[in-house]
Amino acid sequence: MPYGYLGLSSTKPRRKIATAHSGSAMSPPLNPELRRQVITIYKELLNLGKDYPQGFDYFRPRLHRAFMANAHLEDAEQIRQGIARAEFVRKEIEALYYLKRYRALRKRYDGA
C-alpha cells in the first residue's frame, strides 16, 4: 500500500530498526549505572549549551554527533573513559562561562 495517505512521498516500506525489545540477536543491554551516567552528562552538557557563545543551534548538533560517535562502545572501561572526557568538557565549558562573566564584570567596574 502506498504511504501517500500519511504524507510520505516514498512507496517503499521503512526499514525496521532493531531495538533491545525486538527479539533480535543484539548484545546485552548496557550497564544501567553507566547508561544513567551517560544520559546525565548529556543532559548537563545540553543545559550548558543554552548559554554557549555561538548559540544552542551550533552547540547541540556537535554534542549529539560527539555522543553518537561513541554510541557503539560496549566495553565498560571505554564507556567510563568517554564519561570522563565528557566531564572534562563540562568543566571546560563552565570555566569558559566564568571567565566570560569575570571579564564582563571587570570591564564594567574597572572602566568606571
d(Cα 23, Cα 86) in Å, to the nearest integer?
A: 32
Between 98 and 2, name the one with better pLDDT. Answer: 98
**Whole-number pLDDT of residue 105:** 86
pLDDT digits (tens, 9 = 90+) for 46-64: 999 998 889 999 999 999 9
Question: What DSSP designation does 54 have?
Answer: T
Asked if 85 and 37 count as a contact pair (C-beta separation under 8 A), the reply is no
> Can you give the residue ranges of every domain in the chain?
30-110
Alpha-carbon dihedral sign for residues 47, 49, 53, 54: negative
CB 45 within 8 A of CB 94: no
pTM over 0.85: no
Grid cell 568538557 is found at 89
